[in-house]
């Protein structure tokens, strides 16, 4: 199963991101979507699992704060801010989060921690990134996708 993992789109779906998403069987979004139109666009591409970010206001009240989903035998726990991950993560293989706009792929105590970074408007001089993952038989491999962008003067 091919999984696109993104976060912090902040109201922008770049054409390069859309091309990557078309290759996905499912999409995980780690929050800070910023507008309902983004959710509608993503749902047209593939099944979508998403959590609410700190910038997702009244329109997003129905979107869960955190979510657990199993894909390809891999148990994912999703939340926007890493600081809000519960201390006990029983049965979780991978944590997907966002918020910091900083890409992170790190295994700690048998759990894979995944922050795809931000693929929305460039902020904080960070790269524009997302992830593509393959999940099958309870195993996952993750690829970092860096989206080219124009430098702002």
Token representation of residue 6? 């993104």
pTM, whole model, 2 decimals? 0.94
**C-alpha to C-alpha distance for 112 and 95, rounded to whole angstroms:** 6
- At residue 153, the pLDDT reads 38
What is the DSSP-derived secondary structure letter of residue 150? P
Q: Which residue has the higher pLDDT, 123 or 137?
A: 137
CATH superfamily of 2-146: Metallo-dependent phosphatases (3.60.21.10)
- At residue 122, the pLDDT reads 81
CB burial of residue 12 (10 Å; 0-12, 13-18, 19+): middle
Can you tell me the mean pLDDT for 84-101? 94
Buried b (16+ CB within 10 A) or exposed e, 31-64: bbbbbeebbeebeebbebbbbbbeebeeebeebe
**C-alpha to C-alpha distance for 140 and 97, rounded to whole angstroms:** 16
Provide the mean pLDDT of the chain.
Answer: 94
């Amino acid at each position: 199963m091919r999984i696109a993992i993104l976060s912090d789109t902040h109201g922008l779906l770049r054409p390069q991101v859309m091309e990557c998403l078309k290759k996905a069987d499912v999409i995980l979004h780690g929050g800070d979507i910023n507008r309902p139109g983004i959710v509608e666009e993503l749902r047209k591409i593939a099944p979508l699992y998403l959590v609410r970010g700190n910038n997702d206001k009244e329109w997003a009240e129905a979107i869960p704060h955190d979510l657990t989903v199993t894909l390809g035998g891999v148990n994912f726990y999703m939340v926007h801010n890493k600081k809000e991950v519960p201390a006990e993560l029983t049965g979780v293989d991978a944590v997907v989060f966002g918020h910091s706009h900083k890409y992170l792929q790190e295994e700690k105590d048998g759990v894979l921690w995944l922050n795809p970074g931000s693929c929305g408007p460039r902020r904080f001089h960070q790269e524009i990134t997302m992830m593509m993952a393959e999940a099958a038989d309870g195993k996952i491999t993750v690829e970092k996708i860096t989206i080219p962008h124009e430098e702002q003067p």
